Structure 1
Amino acid sequence: MRRRELLAGALSLPLVLAMTREFGTAAATADEATPFDATTVRRMARERAAKPWQAARDTLSGPLARLDYDGYRTIRYDANKALWAAEKLPFGVQFFHRGFLYKDRVDMYEVAGGHARRIPYSPDLFDLSKVGKLADGDVGFAGFRVHAAMNRPDYFDEVCAFLGASYFRAVARNHIYGLSARGLAIKTAEQGGEEFPAFTAFWLERPAQEAGALVIHALLDSRSAAGAFRFVVRPGEATIFDVEMALYPRVELAQVGIAPLTSMFLFAANDRGGVDDFRPAVHDSEGLSMWTGRGEQIWRPLNNPAELQVSSFADDNPRGFGLMQRQRDFGGYKDLEARYDRRPGLWIEPLGQWGRGAVHLVEIPTDREIHDNIVVAWRPAEPIAAGSEHVMSYRMHWCWEAPWKSELARITDTRQGQSLNDRSRLFVLEAVGDKLKGGSGERRAVVTADRGRLRNVVSQANPVTGGWRMSFELQPEGAKVIELRAQLMDGDQPASEVWLYRWTP
């Protein structure tokens, strides 16, 4: 199964298809309207966290329980029955049916006039003709997707989808689906296995006739914590999610990931060992971008390592971080089906003070592009205490490029290969930006390595790109992991962002 097939139909598949999901379901309420306000979901999460966690009971049976991927794709939602379609509101919502990997019920509610009413399941909402006869009863939903007029005024495009554990993904104008986000990550890449919290219920606020945003509330549950989320979704040239998270741990959370991102990196010019493929690069994201609390701007190209790699970038009150796709030319990928040149970047902008912590990057070996093998999240320096309330806010930018405009030149290319003279590694970096057009006209590359030996460090103007090139040779001298750092300088002032890289054999 190819990754491009997995993305067909806008399915948001989880990071690992065969993972064991440990989460509970939201208790269904009566069909009559119940009061709802800004504190409702927080109160539910707090009350749930005060009780022992209960695993979901898999009650799905019959043909739905036996569906494979292809069978699940045959289920189609009737777009004419989308939520709010009859009222011609600026947003429409379609629901995912339970089945395949998505066996757990996710309760759905509509909020209007200060009251919430459960959205009832009906098989008539779906084309189930290729699935077989279903058992009678309220089978329920697995998730939902939101549509709006984003690319043209007469057509509702799919903007975002919530499906599987706490995974969701979104696109901006002219994007196609790529990387995913999650509500929360716990124990990622830790011994003993990862815990996957899940959204168990959603409340969709009915939008006004001319609304430019959709408000979504979500209840999250897991063995270690419960949580309440509020998303304000604004589609556009960049699609913006404003996120408020209130977390209520059942146990002390020392290995928690806030605002986690999940993506795929198979190969590119910086990491192409053993690749036999007609395409120059295959990735949903090519690098981790960071803007630190002390103002340093960092670019860390991604890798597909031979062994699991975890990197940690300590910071205090970060200004932002994200997984970005900087190569936007079709020629950088030459893939007419996957169109990696149109995958969104995702920038996390903290709102308020996040304090001390670190951006954690996990790079997982993979040999196929259907596997998401990159995880990035913020980890607070201090554990989050059991029984506490931990509130954080942030803004998600699903975008073509990072929303802040840097005065420093950006690193646009990272290439490496064997040196012509010996077994050392040759690195070539390209930087472009207005910062390189002024100043003294002479730039110097400052390159360091914590192991091995560097030689032949060169910086030179690139008349083709209008930028500058840095190159150097690295002799590993037996080292298995080497941390590299490079930056273009104009005198004693930085001319480019900082380039960081972890080299492994």
Structure 2
Amino acid sequence: MNRRDLLAASLCLPIAALGGGGAWARALVEAAPATGGGFDEGTVPSIARGLAVRPWQAPAGSLPSWLEGMDYDAWRDIRFDPARALWNGQGRGFTAQFFHPGFLFRETVQVHEVADGHARRIDYAPGLFDFGANPVPRGAGGAPADGFAGFRLHAALNRPDYLDEVCAFLGGSYFRAVARGQLYGLSARGLALRTADPEGEEFPRFTSFWIERPAPGATQVVVHALLDSPSVAGAYRFAITPGAETVMDVRSRLYPRVRLDKAGIAPLTSMFQFDASDRGGFDDYRAAVHDSDGLALWTGAGEQLWRPLANPAVLQESTFADRDPRGFGLMQRKRRFTDFGDAEARYERRPSLWVEPGAGWGAGQVHLVEIPTADEYLDNIVAFWRPDAPLEPGREHLFEYRLHWCDAHDWNPGLARVTATATGALPEGGRRFVVDLAATDGDAEPVPEVLADRGRVDNPSLQRLPHGGWRLAFELHPGGEPVVELRARLLGASLDPLSETWLYRWT
């Protein structure tokens, strides 16, 4: 975990600190058969249904003052003892370590191990941690916690003789993962509610986890999570398979307390500060700073879309209507060190995250929210699916999907993919756009198609690049319009698409 991870988590704390569970919800969980008793696939959904029919209650109690008053450096100095990791030395393919409460992470979660159809709670103990230079008070008021802030899973990701950190669940309903050779970047969440809404966002949180004990030499581990907030309770199941592409099969069962007409399914959260497509006046030695550079969509009708991200002057939201989408994701397409030039952050090693929906998602929209930021330590990009039909209380709403944490994800390899977008001012006014695309199949020269909903597009041209691929260039003259939506692609002689469709919002 790095400083940006922690500061990003602080965005949700004012509401997430209110956000569900607490002593009352924990008491309900403790009374369920899952704690010290039988456990099966229906246990967590049963608990969530029980929560949903009762009024939500804010958590009672707080951490000792010495933990709540910690700064980042003090909290980071508390380290879990790897020798005490769950399943350490058992050859099960995975181990689990736990995060200590404190600093921004004040709400504790309960963690259980599931084995042979039974669950046992993993109790907090100070001896699990090295507190570093932090003085630990003794006696009344000094008890550190009654649970953990979260946990992380380790597996033999990069070499067979060492267990690397693969994923972490920490803060609200946030979680993140890496594939082989990657570093942490963007995050996912269990659920988004009222994102970018004027009445304020609600942040559900995972209050309890159940981790199934993997078999010896296992390549997959299963995690169950209980979600709660004032508006909804939920049961989640994550089947996590690390590798060259780390895959999570997610089953989300939601039980609303109220009608949810602004729910975000499979939400992704990332950071975009600047790039050649939107430098925004940043005077920086680096060529680009971002965890993700574009939103990719594969529509239910089979169209492949690419929308470069922006760091706008004011918050903006874009929606892409669809039915039964085949996939969407926040992707990091730049993969060379020279694309960024940051020897510490190594943005070229940050994961892309592709969402592959299951059956029955129906009609809705992919939402993209872009928030202004001057700080690379704060996430400012959110993407999610919002169903057209509200999620009604009194029933279960099931969403299944697969998350691909990867370098890239091929969904239609026959189409040329956008590799770079750049823009600059014209001397006489207006903007020049340059879009580079990978090579297309065959030797015939494609036909460029460039459209704008306002203003005027001039001088479209197509050049073959020396290293292969194509460069599409054109001029935009907005004519006083404040916003112009652009759309471009390469077509074959019979006007069939040879490339994905490039989208851009000029403001």
Paired amino acid for 1:111: V
Whether the aligned pair in 1 keeps the contact of 2:455 and 2:481 (CA below 8 Å) is yes
The one of 1, 4, 7 equivalent to 1:6 is 4
2:124 corresponds in structure 1 to 121
Whether the aligned pair in 2 keeps the contact of 1:268 and 1:281 (CA below 8 Å) is yes
Whether the aligned pair in 2 keeps the contact of 1:15 and 1:371 (CA below 8 Å) is no
- Counterpart CA distance in 2 for 1:204 and 1:233 is 11
Whether the aligned pair in 2 keeps the contact of 1:13 and 1:163 (CA below 8 Å) is no
The one of 473, 476, 480 equivalent to 1:474 is 476
- Give the alignment of 1:65-464 within 5 angstroms: 65-134=68-137, 135-136=142-143, 138-419=145-426, 421-433=427-439, 436-438=440-442, 441-462=444-465, 464=466
Whether the aligned pair in 1 keeps the contact of 2:126 and 2:144 (CA below 8 Å) is no
Measured after TM superposition, the shift of residue 404 of structure 1 is 2.7
Whether the aligned pair in 1 keeps the contact of 2:51 and 2:233 (CA below 8 Å) is yes
Measured after TM superposition, the shift of residue 223 of structure 1 is 0.8
Identical counterparts, % of pairs: 54
Measured after TM superposition, the shift of residue 137 of structure 1 is 6.6
Cα deviation code 1:233-270 (max 9, x no counterpart): 00000000000000000000100000000000000000
Cα deviation code 1:19-57 (max 9, x no counterpart): 432312241527972110000000000010000011122
Measured after TM superposition, the shift of residue 442 of structure 1 is 2.1
Q: After the TM superposition, which segments of 4 or more aligned residues of structure 1 sit over 6 Å from their partners?
A: none
CA 1:79–1:340 in structure 2 vs 1: closer, same or farther (change >3 Å)? Answer: same
- Counterpart CA distance in 1 for 2:136 and 2:445 is 74
- Counterpart CA distance in 1 for 2:441 and 2:362 is 37
Paired amino acid for 1:292: T
- Counterpart CA distance in 1 for 2:144 and 2:449 is 67
Cα deviation code 1:351-407 (max 9, x no counterpart): 112100000000000001001000000000111111120001000000010143421
Measured after TM superposition, the shift of residue 423 of structure 1 is 1.1
Measured after TM superposition, the shift of residue 210 of structure 1 is 2.0
CA 1:341–1:133 in structure 2 vs 1: closer, same or farther (change >3 Å)? Answer: same
- Counterpart CA distance in 2 for 1:403 and 1:201 is 35
- Counterpart CA distance in 2 for 1:171 and 1:13 is 18
Whether the aligned pair in 2 keeps the contact of 1:432 and 1:465 (CA below 8 Å) is no
What is the DSSP-based 3-state SS (H/G/I as helix, E as strand, rest coil) of the residue aligned with 1:47?
Answer: helix
Whether the aligned pair in 1 keeps the contact of 2:371 and 2:381 (CA below 8 Å) is yes
Whether the aligned pair in 2 keeps the contact of 1:456 and 1:473 (CA below 8 Å) is yes
Whether the aligned pair in 2 keeps the contact of 1:425 and 1:475 (CA below 8 Å) is yes
Gaps spanning 5+ residues in structure 1: where?
none
Paired amino acid for 2:4: L
- Counterpart CA distance in 2 for 1:225 and 1:416 is 44
Paired amino acid for 1:16: L
Whether the aligned pair in 2 keeps the contact of 1:199 and 1:220 (CA below 8 Å) is yes
Gaps spanning 5+ residues in structure 2: where?
none
1:27 corresponds in structure 2 to 26
**Aligned residues: CA RMSD:** 1.6
Query: TM-score of the superposition, structure 2-length normalised?
Result: 0.95
- Counterpart CA distance in 2 for 1:79 and 1:207 is 18
Whether the aligned pair in 1 keeps the contact of 2:67 and 2:144 (CA below 8 Å) is no
